[in-house]
């Protein structure tokens, strides 16, 4: 697992389901570069238990993210057909009907690996057979990406631990406040709280490039 905060978000082009039911074959986060912040999150599998609670929670807060100019995008290692079927399943039957943000199909597992959230390892044995040790699915990774494509916040949870959507919104507010005012946000900062003048070169360097 790797830390990619401060680095450019890995680029990809993959199939995804958008608007709750339309499959596109060449979805990429690059379409948002220079225009939007992106909240890109991974979840382990379709048709499970904790995962739909998270996907519905992000949908319930989608208007809050959109009001801040943030695009929400989900991703797992299931296929686009599995995503589509799950999106057509009502919430009371364990589905995610009503979710409108894009859900990427990382069927090759290369996106999860590039973002450092792929659970399990693979190798070739002495006979040249590819073998996997572990489930080879994504941990609950979350990445906040700025308009230039730089990862500004990274969070990775193990499978049983669902994420806090309000905290994700708080991080968006903190990042956007920092970008607008050049001030840093202390512990437990909330929108409307006082911030502080930065005292280290990394902040000035970032602002000079953005």
Question: What residues act catalytically?
Answer: 51
Supply the angle between the helices 50-60 and 165-181 in degrees, to the nearest 10. 40
The tokens describing 60, both together, are 């319930």
Give the total residue count for the chain. 210
Locus of tokens 């450019």? 8
The tokens describing 23, both together, are 């499959």
Radius of gyration of the chain (CA): 18
Report the SS3 class of residue 104: strand
Locus of tokens 């709280």? 193
Q: 101 and 38 in contact (C-beta within 8 Å)?
A: no
**DSSP designation for 38:** E
| Maximal CA-CA distance, the chain | 62
């Amino acid at each position: 697992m790797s830390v990619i905060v401060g680095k450019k978000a890995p680029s990809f082009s993959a199939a995804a389901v958008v608007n709750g039911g339309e499959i596109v074959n060449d979805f990429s986060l690059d379409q948002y570069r220079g225009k939007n912040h992106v909240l890109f999150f991974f979840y382990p599998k379709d048709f499970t238990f904790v995962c739909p609670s998270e996907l519905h929670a992000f949908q319930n807060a989608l208007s809050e993210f959109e009001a801040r100019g943030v695009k929400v995008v989900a991703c797992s290692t299931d296929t686009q057909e599995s995503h589509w079927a799950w999106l057509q399943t009502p919430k009371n039957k364990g589905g995610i009907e009503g979710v409108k943000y894009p859900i990427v199909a990382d069927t090759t597992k290369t996106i999860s690996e590039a973002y450092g959230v792929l659970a399990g390892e693979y190798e070739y044995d002495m006979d040249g057979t590819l073998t996997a040790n572990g489930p080879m699915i994504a941990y609950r990774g979350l990445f906040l990406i700025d308009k230039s494509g730089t990862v500004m916040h990274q969070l990775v949870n193990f499978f049983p631990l669902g994420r806090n959507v309000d905290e994700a919104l708080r991080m968006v507010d903190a990042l956007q406040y920092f970008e607008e005012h050049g001030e840093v946000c202390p512990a437990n900062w909330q929108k409307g709280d006082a911030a502080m003048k930065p005292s280290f070169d990394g902040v000035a360097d970032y602002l000079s490039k953005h």
